């Protein structure tokens, strides 16, 4: 059982890290702010989600696992707000021009 859980952890964390790498590449390579935002928000939501999901079986207690879930939810909330605000600023700059 524990070997199975460990495998799940390794796979999920690796895929999450890969998503972060893809997001970082997009952030560096995409031409404009909106597509860069698109790239980084995918990495944030799904990458962090997968990494935390992978870490859940390793947490020693239920409280520890709940803390991980809370971290993910809070990161989701702040990332969603930040990208909305950034996108809004881009939109405003475009319409003013």
Partner 1 sequence: MALFDLALVALLLMLALRVVVEPDERSAIITFLAFGLLLGLAWVRLAAPDVALTEIAIGGGVTGILLLRAEAALRGRGKQAEPATRTGKLAVAAGSAAISAGLGFAVLTFSTPAPTLAPAAAQALPATGLGNPVTAVLLAFRALDTLLEKVVVLLALIGVWSLAPDALWGGAPDLKPAAVPGPLAYLGRVLPPFGVVIGVYMFWVGADAPGGTFQAGTVLAAMWLLVMMAGLHPPPDTTRWLLRLVLAGGPILFLAIAFLGFAFADGFLAYPKALAKPLILAIEAALTLSVAAALAMLVAGPARKAPAR
Per CB under 8 A, the segment of 3-11, 22-30, 51-59, 71-79 that binds partner 1 is 71-79
Nearest to 65 by CA among 3, 5, 1: 5
Part of the chain binding partner 1 (CB under 8 A), chosen from 24-32, 48-56, 57-65, 76-84: 76-84
Q: Closest distance between partner 1 and the C-beta of residue 29, in Å?
A: 19
Element (H, E) at 94: helix 62-96
Residues 6+ apart with CB under 8 A from 74: none
| 66 sits near partner 1 (criterion: CB under 8 A) | no
The residue whose two tokens read 């590449």 is 25
- Does residue 78 interact with partner 1 by CB under 8 A? yes
Query: What sign results for the dihedral spanned by CA atoms 85, 87, 90, 91?
Result: negative
User: Which stretch in 8-16, 37-45, 51-59, 70-78 sits in contact with partner 1 by CB under 8 A?
Assistant: 70-78
Q: Which residues bind partner 1 (CB under 8 A)?
A: 70, 74, 77-78, 80-81, 84-85, 88
């Amino acid at each position: 059982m524990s070997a199975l859980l460990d495998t799940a952890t390794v796979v999920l964390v690796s895929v999450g890290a890969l998503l972060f790498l893809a997001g970082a590449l997009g952030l560096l390579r995409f031409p404009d702010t909106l597509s860069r935002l698109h790239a980084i928000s995918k990495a944030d939501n799904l990458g962090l989600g997968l990494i935390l999901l992978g870490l859940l079986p390793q947490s020693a207690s239920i409280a520890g696992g709940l803390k991980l879930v809370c971290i993910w939810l809070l990161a989701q909330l702040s990332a969603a707000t930040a990208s909305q605000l950034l996108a809004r600023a881009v939109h405003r700059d475009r319409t003013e021009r």
